[in-house]
Amino acid sequence: MGRILIVDDTLFMRTLLKNILFSGGHDIVGEAGDGDEAIAKYQELKPDLVTMDVVMPKVNGIEALKGIRAIDPNAKVVMCTAVGQEQMVKLAIKTGAKGYIVKPFQAPKVLEEIKNVLSS
Amino acid sequence: MALVPVKIEKDGKWLVGRIDLQQDSMNVVEPFKAAIPYKSVIDLEEKKNILIVTVKGDPPVIYRIASVEKVLQAMKRFIAMSCSAYRLMAYFMSPAVRGGVMVTNATWEKGAIAVLKSTIWFVSQNKQVSVALKEVTSMEITKKEVQKNQVDVLKLDHMENTDVVTSYVLCPLSTLQILINFLKDATKDLEITGEELDPVAAQVGMLIYSGMDSHAIEKMLNIPYKNLDEVYEKLLKLGMAEVTQVRREVQLTPKGVRFITESVKPPT
């Protein structure tokens, strides 16, 4: 089980992910609402994994991923994209994302992906 | 070509039998005799490793057949490639996304798409995937990167047991348009016409999709059960949800309270 930082600009999606990950036995160490906050929280909390929304105000998920990878090249970041943003997936993978989930998502599959990334 | 072991249903009973699989037909040789030319098959469904083969007739004849995976694979391939259906050669990727998670080893399969009365079949040499039309949740023509080119594909979302799965079909755009029009027509009962959900109902819908139960939804949205029940009622009325279970809330009677009180007393 991992210590996870959830990054999403909507409270609803953060709460949903928090519930799913908590039900899977993970520890939610923090939440961030934009890319800047995500980078700062990553540095502060050193989580095992980050779930990162792609489209966010100010600094987006791809830029935040770059920022986090600059701090920790081995950071495990799972990107969350909405339907229709699948093209972003390739860019995220190139940038170093370890996994990706597409919204809307189903709890068991999300937990499976998180488990895979944590054990990779 | 090959005599294969099967179990076949007759008069509600499953009987052990054998089927002779040929290039253009399959013939039941035991426990009864029946010739099934693939061309006469008008529908083919798969439910939990059982093939349901509907053969043209008045009324149509339905065969339910169970067997080992290898035999069923051969049957599915033969039937889907030769039966009475709208068929087109295409590449397909199924599943590409499952429950919101990309399937990492998903690859394009070269094969055919066969659209039957109740089911769409993706068929290649090694893979046969069936999608019941009533399980299709959405479809659209979209762009997808294939070998560094953005190409038109049909994106098909459908249910597979309780998972929401995305599959892709790749073929010329004109064929995709024929296919999507056909599918839209075949699944028009699932269209939502005019009934808009308010933001709370939409959030409830999203949470149900994600697998949250009533208790979790109440807590997450901070709404009382009465309001949640009203949303459920709306979703049920719109045919967007179905009841899976009714949970009861109870309180202890004096007898129950007495039992609990007694049970925590230290032994004397």
Q: What is the mean pLDDT of each run of 10 residues along chain B (268 residues)?
A: 88 91 90 92 90 91 92 91 89 91 88 90 90 89 87 92 90 91 82 74 92 92 93 92 90 94 84
Band the pLDDT of A86: cuts 50, 70, 90: low
CATH of the domain at A33: 3.40.50.2300
Residue of A85, A102, A114, A120 to mutate for B, most B C-beta atoms under 10 A: A102
To the nearest whole angstrom, how far is the Cα of B209 from the nearest Cα of chain A?
Answer: 6
Ordered domains of chain B (ranges, CATH): 2-82 (2.30.29.30), 86-190 (2.30.29.30), 193-268 (no CATH)
Mean pLDDT of A79-107: 84
- How far, in Å, are A41, A45, A46, A100 from residue A30 at the CA level? 7, 8, 10, 19
**At residue A85, does pLDDT exceed 80?**
no
Please give the Cα distance from A54 to B118 (Å, whole number). Answer: 38
pLDDT (0 to 100) of residue B195 = 63
pLDDT (0 to 100) of residue B173 = 93
DSSP secondary structure, B113-139, as one string: EEE-SSEEEEEESS-EEEEEGGGEEEE
To the nearest whole angstrom, how far is the Cα of A82 from the nearest Cα of chain B?
Answer: 9
Cα Rg for chain A, rounded, in angstroms? 12
Please give the residue that has the higher pLDDT: either A90 or A113: A113
Please give the Cα distance from A4 to A99 (Å, whole number). Answer: 14
Is the dihedral angle over the CA atoms B130, B136, B137, B141 positive or is it negative? positive
Residue-wise pLDDT tens digits, B209-243: 999 999 999 999 999 999 999 999 999 998 889 99
Please give the Cα distance from B268 to A61 (Å, whole number). Answer: 64
pLDDT (0 to 100) of residue B250 = 93
φ, ψ dihedrals at B76, nearest 5°: -60, -45
pLDDT (0 to 100) of residue B158 = 92
Q: CB-based contacts of B173: which residues, under 8 Å, 6+ apart? A: B141, B152
Residue of B nearest to A83 (CA): B100
Task: Indicate the number of domains in chain A.
Answer: 1
Does B96 contact chain A (CB < 8 Å)?
no
A contact set with B (CB within 8 A): 12, 15-16, 19-20, 84, 86-87, 89-90, 99-110, 112-113
Share of chain A above pLDDT 90, in %: 75
Of residues A20, A102, A108, nearest to B102 (C-beta): A102
Q: Enumerate the residues of chain A whose CB falls inside 8 A of the CB of residue B197.
A: none
- How far, in Å, are A112, B63, B84, B213, B246 from residue B243 at the CA level? 27, 31, 37, 12, 7
ipTM confidence score: 0.80
Range of the domain at A62: 3-119
Inter-residue contact B236 to B205 (CB < 8 Å): no
What is residue A19's three-state secondary structure? helix
Does B207 contact chain A (CB < 8 Å)?
yes
